[in-house]
């Protein structure tokens, strides 16, 4: 994977990373649009995503990836 353009960040930076992409976290812990907090961010599988389950972002239409193994295997197959 070293040849595949990857940047890793410390887990404690999750909120800052989301902020870069104009996302924030609502009271229930879901990732939402900063400009429209009622709009929840969805994973490529169409699931709402909580900060604790947020793994990272991948290119395309900026997809937000969940941190469970199934989601990461799909990501791995894609890169």
| CA–CA separation, 70 and 25 (whole Å) | 23
Beta carbon nearer to another protein, 21 or 26: 21
Cβ distance 30 to 37 under 8 Å?
Answer: no
Kindly state the smallest distance separating residue 25's Cβ from another protein, in Å.
15
Beta carbon nearer to another protein, 39 or 79: 79
The three-class DSSP label of residue 25 is: strand
- What the block records as the tokens of 31 is 């990732």
List residues binding another protein (CB under 8 A). 1-11, 13-14, 16-17, 20-21, 53-59, 62, 65-76, 79
Beta carbon nearer to another protein, 2 or 27: 2
Kindly state the smallest distance separating residue 27's Cβ from another protein, in Å.
21
CA-based nearest residue to 45, from 75, 3, 79, 15: 75
């Amino acid at each position: 994977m070293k040849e595949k353009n990857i940047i890793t960040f410390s887990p404690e930076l999750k909120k800052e990373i989301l902020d870069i992409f104009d996302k924030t976290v609502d009271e229930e812990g879901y990732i939402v649009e900063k400009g429209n907090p009622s709009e929840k961010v969805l994973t490529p599988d169409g699931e709402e995503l909580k900060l604790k389950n947020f793994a990272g972002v991948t290119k395309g239409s900026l997809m937000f990836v969940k941190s469970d193994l199934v989601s990461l295997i799909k990501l791995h197959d894609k890169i």
